[in-house]
Amino acid sequence: MNRRDFVITPAAALAGNLFAAESDTPWQRRIRRLGQTNMTEHDPVALDVEQWADYWASLKVDATMVSVTGILAFYQTKVPFHRKGKHLGSRDFFGDCCAAAKKRGIRVIARMSPDLNWEDAVQAHPDWFQRNAQGEPVRHGEDARLFRTCMFSTYMTDYVTAIMREVNSMYDIDGLFTNAWPPLGSMPVCHCDQCRRLPASGTPSYWEKFNERTVYLWKLYDSIAKEKRRANFYFANLGGGIRSTADLVQLGELCEWFQSDNQGRGGDDTPIWTCALQGRVCNAVQKGKMANNVTGAWSTGSPRWRNVYKSEAEERMWFNETLASGMVPYHHIIGGEYGMGADRRWLEPARKYFEWTAKHDAHFTTKRSIANIGVVMGQRTHLFYKPPRGAQIAQYMDGLYYALLEGRFLFDFVHEDKLATEELSKYSALLLPNTALLSDRQCAQLAAYVNAGGSLLATFETSLYNERNEKRSEFGLADVFGIRKAGDPIGTTGNAYLARIERSHPVLSGFSNTRWIPGAENRLPVAPVDNPVLSVVPGFVAYPPELSYPVEPKTDEPAVVVRERGGSRLIYFPGDVERTMWKSGHTDLARLLRNSIGWVAGGNQPVTVQGEGVIETFAWETQAGFAVHVLNYTNPAMHRGWIRDFYAIGPQQVAMRMPKGRKVKRVELLMAEADAPFRTEGDTVRFTIPRVLDYEVAALYAD
């Protein structure tokens, strides 16, 4: 195979499309709705293309993915080893779909999957494929006829680019997209000749090489996209929340479109707010660029049913969270033949929802988040840190996130690589949920933030490791919090340690008639401090009950370190309190966390929402003014499974401080389709949302 053979069209043939006039705002940033039918091999002989295009047009989508794929070709390819589907025949199925979408004013993204190929390619190009430790090519886990390709091989630079250039030459497409690369769940483990020369997979050294390769390929593919026309671009499947495999800050600077493939939850223990969390990740690294979340209408989770609709209420909440967190909604169904026919339940609900969003686009076009609390997302910690036995890395953020929701705090995510002074100036407090890996530079940036009057809350092993996962002899933030390490982590063998109340403090508000509250499952001993708020009562056996009492009921080891330094408020928990709260559900720990967040934040939130229920709130400056989003999570399926029904909550009292010079002239409730009476007191606007079923958006029109 010769690379020159792959360049199907001379550059001169494309010259007429280059440097076409474009508006000042890139077209992808004007997209408000997206859709995709994930094509199957059988669709070329079964799908009614006009019906397919009419459906997406009825949803008012601005763009759709159409499958080219590197696994099965949906057009008459000339690229060697790009196998045509057995039902394609002489048809140009991709071309038919592309033309039908374009006829309706829908942009087309050519979708490819570079992660798998067939055995004939393995025989001809063994160097293209991942190898196991025995040197054998790695088969796909579900279909053994397919083999996993290696991202460090020429498969990615020769074969994939050949398909891209071929599609560019033949069709009026608007962009190129790769599904399943970069890998979402974990970094690849490969023992091919190329990868044997790399550091061990899963290490910080490997991650550097992984990111170098990812950036190189991203730029290569983007340059090919722009060979078609200047406004075209390449993007890939991202998502994965905080634990993305690729460096989110590097890709946030490169990518024009953050495609979050966070399609839904299922039978596992996944909280309902997982989609909103993904939106916070996007906002932390994209800053105004296009970001969407793919909502799978199919039955996500395990086991999965690709061709059957999930709960309508669950899909609706995923759409709600997408909008509320600042992303663009994306409706995804599987198979044109079956997706448009066998189970039609997933067609109409999405149509109605997208019609509703289209009426209010100006209120969903966000400019900036309104929040004064930042939660540091430690991507390296989530990739490389090894938590104590029995702990899961996601539990630290899950616990803190839940406490923030219960306390009804507005907050943003802040990536660990975006801690410069100008990035943090809007936040009165930063929260670090066991952010174990922090570089010397990041620790210095956090110290500078505190010196400038910012407040911090951190837990457990925060800053005890550098960015290469090398353990420090002392906390990197030791001087900031006034703490000194006094031992190695201590776990729980029976009865977890207790925290003894030593004096009153706002973090203990609501605790009465007790000297003890629960401690965490794991703690890192720290040296004594002056005038402690809580001290450690060491753990003891839970059984037999006759021995279940503290042998040492009082120590000088602090269970929390609370300091004030100038205008800064500082809290360090030596225990993994947020994780323990999430695992145990203990209400004392939840109260302690809420009180602590409120104290470090200073109780001066830009927006407050008071009322019953468990909610998540977002506030944005928008194209039309401002918007306050209220998501109602009060539901028995909040932590697991799918939502079956919604449970309405009553009046929510909203108070929002307006920026200087801005005046509200109208408040409209978009779901209720009614105006809300409001009053202005100084710089604060007050109004009531009478009822929230699943979601309400208060749109504030402002001069």
Q: Does 593 share its domain with 617?
A: no
pLDDT value at residue 112 = 96
Q: Does 626 share its domain with 653?
A: yes
Q: Is it the case that residue 18 has pLDDT exceeding 70? A: no
Q: Does 534 share its domain with 571?
A: yes
pLDDT value at residue 23 = 54
Q: How many whole angstroms separate alpha carbon 603 and alpha carbon 553?
A: 34
Q: Is it the case that residue 22 has pLDDT exceeding 50? A: no
pLDDT value at residue 327 = 96
Q: Buried (b) or exposed (e) across 405-441, using 16+ Cβ within 10 A? A: bbbbbbbbbbbbbbbeeebbebbbbbbbbbbbbbbee
Quick one: tokens of 23? 């508006």
Q: What is the dihedral of CA 138, 143, 144, 149, to 10 degrees?
A: -30
Quick one: tokens of 527? 């040296």
Q: Buried (b) or exposed (e) across 122-151, using 16+ Cβ within 10 A? A: beebeebbbbeeeeebbbeeeeeebbbbbb
In a domain, 396, yes or no: yes
Per-residue pLDDT tens over the stretch 405-454 = 999 999 999 999 999 999 999 999 999 999 999 999 999 999 999 999 99
Predicted confidence band of residue 339 (pLDDT cuts 50, 70, 90): low
pLDDT value at residue 241 = 80
pLDDT value at residue 8 = 35
Per-residue pLDDT tens over the stretch 456-488 = 999 999 999 999 999 999 999 999 999 999 999
In a domain, 147, yes or no: yes
Per-residue pLDDT tens over the stretch 369-385 = 999 999 999 999 999 99
Q: Is it the case that residue 337 has pLDDT exceeding 80? A: no
pLDDT value at residue 2 = 39
Q: How many whole angstroms separate alpha carbon 406 and alpha carbon 271?
A: 14
Tokens 């589907």, residue?
A: 85
What's the rounded mean pLDDT across residues 556-561?
98
Q: Name the least confident of 90-94, 237-241, 569-573, 579-583.
A: 237-241
What's the rounded mean pLDDT across residues 528-537?
96
Looking up residue 173, the CATH number of its domain turns out to be 3.20.20.80
Q: Give the single-character DSSP code of 335.
A: -
DSSP-assigned beta bridge partners for residue 459:
573
Counting residues of the chain whose pLDDT is more than 70, the rounded percentage is 96
Q: How many whole angstroms separate alpha carbon 344 and alpha carbon 632?
A: 28
- How many angstroms from the chain centroid is the CA of residue 517? 34
What's the rounded mean pLDDT across residues 657-663?
93
What's the rounded mean pLDDT across residues 567-574?
97
Q: Is it the case that residue 6 has pLDDT exceeding 80? A: no
User: For 147, phi and psi rounded to 5 degrees?
Assistant: -130, 150
For the chain, the farthest-separated pair of C-alpha atoms sits apart, in whole angstroms, at 87
Looking up residue 483, the CATH number of its domain turns out to be 3.40.50.880
Looking up residue 695, the CATH number of its domain turns out to be 2.60.40.1180
- Residue after which a domain boundary falls, among 601, 616, 643: 601
What's the rounded mean pLDDT across residues 342-348?
89
Quick one: tokens of 80? 């060697």
Per-residue pLDDT tens over the stretch 58-76 = 999 999 999 998 789 999 9
Q: Does 521 share its domain with 644?
A: no
Q: How many whole angstroms separate alpha carbon 497 and alpha carbon 517?
A: 9
Range of the structural domain that residue 162 is part of? 62-245
Neighbours of 289 (CB within 10 A): 16
In a domain, 330, yes or no: no
- Radius of gyration of the chain from Cα atoms? 27
Q: What is the mean pLDDT of the chain?
A: 93
pLDDT value at residue 3 = 36
In a domain, 388, yes or no: yes
Q: What residues have CB less than 8 Å from 279, skipping those under 6 apart?
A: 260, 291, 293, 321, 322, 324, 325, 326, 327
Question: Which conformational region is residue 82 in: left (phi greater than 0), alpha (psi within -120 to 50 degrees), or beta?
Answer: beta
> pTM for the complete prediction?
0.94
What's the rounded mean pLDDT across residues 256-276?
91
Q: Does 539 share its domain with 641?
A: no
In a domain, 638, yes or no: yes
Q: Does 571 share its domain with 626?
A: no
Q: What residues have CB less than 8 Å from 597, skipping those under 6 apart?
A: 373, 403, 404, 407, 409, 429, 431, 457
Q: Which residue has the higher pLDDT, 253 or 243?
A: 253
Q: Which residue has the higher pLDDT, 341 or 630?
A: 630
CA angle 65, 69, 73 (to 5 degrees): 120
Q: Does 403 share its domain with 498?
A: yes
In a domain, 286, yes or no: no
Q: Does 480 share its domain with 617?
A: no
Q: Is it the case that residue 288 has pLDDT exceeding 90? A: no
What's the rounded mean pLDDT across residues 294-315?
92
Q: Are 656 and 610 in contact (CB under 8 A)?
A: no
Q: What is the dihedral of CA 591, 607, 616, 611, to 10 degrees?
A: 70
Could you report how far apart the first and last alpha carbons of the chain are, in Å? Answer: 63
